[in-house]
Amino acid sequence: MPKNKETATAAQQRKMLHKNLSFQAAEAYKLLRTNLQFTLPGDDEDGCRVIGITSSIHGEGKSTTAVNLSYTLAETGKRVLLIDGDMRLPSIGKKMEVQNAPGLSNALAASGSDVKIAIRPSNVFENWHFVTSGDIPPNPSELLGSRRMQSVLKAMTKEFDYIVIDLPPVNVVSDALVVSSLLDGMLVVVRENYTERKELRACIRQLNLSDAKVLGIVMSNVRDDHKRYGKYRKKYYSKYRYWDRETPQAEN
């Protein structure tokens, strides 16, 4: 790809992230945040909420959703940690414009090291931190399903109110299923005019078989149809929508 085209693509991606979000997208993520707070009620005494973000296949916008959801949660003053749990095709480091290592894989592989070496502060909010994927390991599923992952995540929950983990697509690899038992719930991202119904059904089926708690579905790249939704909808229509966890079953 020519350098000028790469630069244009990077600039376009930045427009879709955290503080550069449009009004409509920012409001949509706030709605998602509100729905999550109702779905996972509690206060500071109840401890940290750990939320996984996945999809059925690659290219549905799960990583962008993970970044923006964690940012929106941090806006409320809560201590939030974003983790890149996709150690096969990592993207959080690129989106946050930092090197991937040291990161999650390094913290998991080095049993004697302090997990805090992988936690980095954002340059947006002092209460918003992130962990990149680290060096790409030969055994991502084994690392995510290890006792070391449990202990690392447990240590991180003591420092934060919310942890958002970007995970690989369910229909591609088993990584998200392996780590699902450590989560309070999972959000599934689907992309309008891209995700096939059969892929979504297979994804939800796999999550259910793994006893994962599916919190809901987030639809990305929703077309803004002004004529259909009228003047009020024209002003406030969101590019991302949230459904409760019963929606996939209702669609079947």
DSSP, residue by residue, 197-237: HHHHHHHHHHHHHTT--EEEEEEES----HHHHHHHHHHH-
pLDDT at residue 178 greater than cutoff 70: yes
Contacts with 128 (C-beta within 8 Å, 6 or more apart), sequence order: 70, 71, 74, 80, 82, 121, 122
Q: How confident is the model at residue 15 (pLDDT cuts 50, 70, 90)?
A: low
Q: Identify the residue with better confidence: 146 or 226.
A: 146
Q: Identify the residue with better confidence: 4 or 82.
A: 82
Q: How confident is the model at residue 112 (pLDDT cuts 50, 70, 90)?
A: low
Would you call 164 exposed, middle or buried from its count of C-beta atoms within 10 A (0-12, 13-18, 19+)? buried
Share of the chain above pLDDT 90, in %: 62
Written as six digits, the tokens of 213 are 């708690």
User: For the whole model, what pTM was predicted?
Assistant: 0.83
Mean pLDDT across 60-82: 94
pLDDT at residue 77 greater than cutoff 60: yes
Mean pLDDT across 88-108: 92
Cα 240 from Cα 12, distance rounded (Å): 17
pLDDT of residue 22: 82
Q: Identify the residue with better confidence: 205 or 240.
A: 205
Distance, first Cα to last Cα, the chain? 41
8 Å CB contact between 102 and 118: yes
pLDDT of residue 226: 42
Q: Identify the residue with better confidence: 64 or 8.
A: 64
pLDDT of residue 251: 39
Q: Return the closest-CA partner of residue 108 out of 72, 133, 78, 73.
A: 133
DSSP 16: T
pLDDT of residue 66: 95
- Catalogue the E-assigned strands of the chain: 49-55, 80-84, 120-121, 128-131, 162-166, 185-191, 214-220, 241-243
Cα 60 from Cα 54, distance rounded (Å): 9
pLDDT tens digit sequence for 181-213: 999 999 999 998 888 999 999 999 999 999 999
The full set of domains in the chain, from first to last, is 46-251 (3.40.50.300)
Q: How confident is the model at residue 248 (pLDDT cuts 50, 70, 90)?
A: very low
Q: Among 24-28, 75-79, 148-152, 245-249, whose mean pLDDT is lowest? A: 245-249
3-state helix, strand, coil in the chain (%, to 5): 45, 15, 40
Mean pLDDT across 134-151: 93
Q: Identify the residue with better confidence: 42 or 126.
A: 126
pLDDT of residue 44: 56
pLDDT at residue 93 greater than cutoff 70: yes
Q: How confident is the model at residue 240 (pLDDT cuts 50, 70, 90)?
A: very low
pLDDT at residue 58 greater than cutoff 60: yes
Q: Which residue carries 């947006």 as its tokens?
A: 124
Mean pLDDT across 73-82: 96
pLDDT of residue 2: 52
Q: Dihedral sign for Cα 131, 89, 143, 135, please.
A: negative
